[in-house]
Chains A and B, each alone.
Chain A
Amino acid sequence: MIKLVEKRKPDTVMMRDVYIDQLIEFAKSDPNIIVLDADLMHSNGTYRFLEKFPERAINVGVQEANMMGIAAGLSATGKIPFTHTFACFSTRRALDQVYISIAYNKLNVKMMATDPGVTAAYNGGTHMPLEDIGFVRGIPTITIIEPVDTVMMKALLKDITYSYGPFYVRISRKTTIRVFEEGSSFEIGKGIVLREGKDVTIIATGIMVAEALDAADLLASEGIDARVVNIFTIKPIDRELIEKCASETGAIVTAENHNIYNGLGSAVAEVVAETCPVPIERVGVKDLFGEVGDVDYLKKRFNMTAQDIAASVKNVLLRK
C-alpha cells in the first residue's frame, strides 16, 4: 500500500543517511552485513557504519574493481556485502568484476551506486552515469532498483538485504523530492500507479517521478488525463502493468534520469512492442555525455523537466 504526500517538496533528510541508518539497524542483529567503500565514505555517508562497526566496514581505497571482487569473495563465505561508490565507477570502472566475480558466480552482493544521472551535478561529465542501467541490464540475474525517495529506500532495504542475489541500487546521495507518505510499502518487481488517467501513461523512475506528477498536473489543466506509473524495479520489469497501461491508455511516455537508450524507456518499449504496440515517446538524455552544473540546470539542459514531459505527452497523443 502506498500513500502520496499531499504537497511534494524536498525532503528534510538525505537518502544516503536514511539508507545507512536502516542498514545499521539490520547490522545490529546481523553480523553478516558488511560495508565496502572505495574512498567515498564521506560522500556516501558510509563512514557512519564504520563508526558503529569498524570491524565490518572496509574502505579499500580508490580501487573499485578490487572492491567488487572482494565483495564477491566475502559473499562466497556467506557474508552480505554492500558495495558503495558513485554509479559511474560501480559500472564503468568495475563492470567485468560485476559481471564475472559477482553475477556469473551467482553471489549475493548489493551494489549501492550513488549519484545517478544528473545528480552527479558538479562532478561533471566524467562522473555522470547516464548509461549504467544499460550496462547492468545486460547482465543476467541482477535486480535493478531505483528508489524514488527516502520512504521507498528505507522500505525496500529489507528485501534488498535478504533476497538472495545481486542487486544494483541507483541511490541518490542528497535530498530528493518526497513523494510517498511514511508507512507506504512496496514490492520489488511491481510498478505502482501513482495517479489514475485514461489518455496516456507516463512511466517514470527515480527523480523523474516528481517531474512526471508535476507534468500530469500541468496536463490536467489542459484537459489531458494522464496516468502516472512508477517503475522502481527496472529489472525484472513489471510487464503486466506496462501491458495493461498500454492497452488501457493507448499511449506511453517514459521519463528517466538516464540516456533514453538502454534504460527505462528502452525496457518499456520492448515490453510494449512485444505485448501491445502503442505509440511511445521517451524523455531522458538523448544520447549525450553529461556536463557540469546544478541539477536544475542539467534537467533543463537535457530536456528532463515536467514541461518537457508534458510536451512529449502532446506529441505522443498526436500519434495515438
Chain B
Amino acid sequence: MADHDPTPPAPPAPPAWQLGKSHRKVDAMERMRGITRYTDDLKLPGLLHCKILRSPHPHANILSIDTSKAEALPGVHGVITGKDLSIPYGIIPWTPDETALAVEKVCHVGDGLAAVAAVDEDTALRALAAIEVVYEPLQAYYDPEQALAAEVAINPFNKRGNLSKDVVLEFGDVEQSLADAPLVIEGEYFFEGTTHGAIEPHCAVAKLEPNGLLTVWSATQVSHYLHRELAKVLERPAHTIRVIQPPLGGAFGGKSEPFDLEFCVAKLAMLTGRPVKCLYTREEVFYAHRGRHPMKMRHRTGFTREGKITGVSARTFIDGGAYSSFGLVTTYYSGQLLCSPYVFPAYRFHSTRAYTNKPACGPKRGHGSVQPRFAIEVQLDKAAVALGLDPFELRRRNDMGSNTTTVNGFEVGSNGFLECLDRVESGSQWRERRASLGFGHGLGLAGSTYICGTNYPIYPNDMPQGAVQITLDRSGRARVFSGANDIGQGSNTMLAVIVAEELGLHLDDVRVVSADTDLCPVDLGAYSSRITLMVGNACMQAAQKLRGKVRESVAKRWEIPAARVTLIDRKAMDLEDPARSIALDKAFQWAEADHGLLGEVGSYNTPKDRHGSYRGGTIGASPAYSFTAHVAEVEVDPETGVVDVKHIWVAHDCGRALSKLIVEGQMEGSAYMGFGEAIMERHAVDPRHNGVHCGPSLLDYRMPTFLDTPDIHALIVEAPDPQGPYGAKEAGEGPLHPSIPAIANAIYDAVGVRIDALPFSPPKVLAAIQDRARLEQAGELAPFKSAGLGERRNA
C-alpha cells in the first residue's frame, strides 16, 4: 500500500536562526564590568597564603632541608616538602616523571622543593627565607645533544639516561625519492622556544569541607586530568575531590597539566584545615613554562622540475627541559602532523626528545607542529625560488585534496586548503602588490593543517570523549552542563549557540555550567582543538533529542506532522503556516506535561578507523583536519635589520563557523601569537648565569603590543566536514601555524636573505643582509632586487 501513497511534500526548510551569526558571548559583559570572579578573586574566610621555595640551582642533589625555623614563625600554619607529596605523576600516563615538590634533586632553576601556608604572603615569604637547604650542585646540561651524550641523568625517574623519547617512522623509500629528485632542498632550522604568556598567572585555591570533600579551584584548562592526578598524588578517592575551573584569564596550552601549586594548596588545606591559596608571580609562570619546545630540524625535500614533492626527510632534536610533560606526544607530533595539506609520496622522520636542565617544555597553541611547519614551508619557498615558480602555484601542484589518505595513514575528510590559498591570494592582491614592492618590502606565503582533537584520548579508555547534559525549564530556559573548559576561547558560547539553534532560544536563555567535576559530566579539557568538534557533537545530540520532544508535543496539539514544527526566536512555529506559533515556554510546558522533566544527555566518541596501522599510527590522527594559509607583508630596514610586519592575511578552513566573531577572533589571536614568536619572543635560559631565565618578565620577554601588531585580516573559509557538528572544525590553533614561515618567506622576498633560526631579530637579519651584500659586491651573487620596482632575479 505504501507503494501507492504519494510521498507527502517535505515542509519548507526551517529559516536560518543562530548558526554562523555574530553573537555577544554569554559571559563577556560580566568580564567587562569587572565582576567575573577568576581564581585569584575568590574570597574564603580564614584563607591562608601559600608560597613555594624554588631552587636557585639548575641541577643539584638536595642533601638536607630543615624547615624547623620556618615552622616556628608566628603566622605560619603549615610547611611541606617533597616527601609529603612523593608520588610521581605526569599528564601522559606512560611518563610519570615529576613530583609536586622535588624529593631528592632539583632539575632546573625554579624547581619547587618546599611550600608554606601562612596568614599572609609576607609571612609566607619570610618562612621561605627561614628554610635551610643544603645542595650538592651537579653539572648542568642545556643542549639536548650534549645532554644525550652526558653520563649524568637529569630526570630522577627516567631509566634511559637523558633520552626522553625517540621516534623513527618511514613511509616509502625516502632515500630513493631524494636520489631520483632533480631538485633537493636541504635546510637546517632552529626554533629557540617560546612561552604562552597568558595574562592571568596560574592560581589555585583548596578547601577541605567538614564532610571531608576536598574542593580545588584552579586556573586550569584540564579539570578532569587535574582531578585524576590529585586523587593519585594525595591518595584520596576521586569522589572525595571536586575540581572547579573558575573563569580563566587565558591559557594557550600553558595550563593544560597539573602544576605544583595545585598539589601544594590541596595538601596544605588538608594539613591545616583552612582554605589555602597560591598565586604564581609572573616570574614563577615563566619557570613553570611547559611552552613550545626548542627544536633543531634538518630537512631534506625532493622536488620534480614541475615542483611536485617527491619525498621529505626530517631529523629533529627536541629540547624537553627537565620533565616529560606532553613530550611523548610532542615527539610524535613533530613528525606525524606534517603529512598534509601536501602530498608526500615518501616521508621519513626521526625525532629525539632529550631532558635538559631547563623549565620543562610542553604544549603551546599548535602543539608540536608549529616548529616543523616553519621548516616545511620555508623549504617549499626555497624550491619555488629555485624552480622559478610562484609560491601559490607550487603549493597548488602539491595539494592533496579532500577525502584522501596521507602517507602516514590518516584519513582526511573535508579540505578547504585550495580555497584558503585563493582567499589570501585575492585578499592580499598578491600579484599586483608583489610586483609593486621594491627592495626592503616583501610578501610571503605559507600553508598548514591542524587536528580537531585526537581519536585516542590521553589515557586509554572506551568511554566517550565528550559529553553534555541539557535540561529545559518551564519558564523557557535551557541549562547546559558540560565538563569542557572555557579558557577564553568562547566554548561556553559555542555550546549556547548550538542549544539556542536547536531549541529556538536566544543566547540569553541558555545557562552554561562548565568545568565543575561535581556538577558536570566528564570532559577531557581544552587542548588539541577538540571542544568544538567533540563537545559540540555531544551537545548537538542532546539538544536535538530535546528538540524532537518539543516538536512532537506541539505537533500533537496542532495535529500536524512534527516535521512541520520548527523552534525559532522563542517560538514554536508551523513551517507551512508561519502565522501559527506558540511561545516557547508554553511549548516547553506541553513537552514537560507529555514527557516529565525535560532532560537529555549527549555523548561523542571518536572514529577509531581513521589512523595508520603501525606502532604510533594513532598519535595525531583526528576525526577531521582544518587548513590555513597566510600571506604576510613585511618591511625590512636594511640599515638596522628591523622587520616590520605590516599585514597578515589569514584564511582558515574551520568547516563551518558556528559563531562568526569567535572564529575570527581565534584567527586574529593565532596570527598575532605566531607573529610574536617570529619576530620577538624568546624563551631561553642563560648557561653563563647558572641556567637562569633570560628575561622572566613581561617587559624582558617581549610580547607584541598594540603598536607592534600588524593589521590582521581574517578570511573565514568553510569546507564542512561530516565529522563535525554542522560541519564545524577547529579554529583556535590551526590559524597560528603559517605565521612564522609566511614572515620568513616575506623577509626573503624583501631583502633576499633566509633567516632559518628564530626569532627574526634585528642582529640576525642585519648580519644576513650584510653577508649577502658582501657576496653581491664580490660578484658571487646577483643583486636581489634592482633599483627598479618589482624587477626580481627570478621573475
* A and B bind: no
Interface residues in chain A, defined as those with a beta carbon under 8 Å from any beta carbon in chain B: none
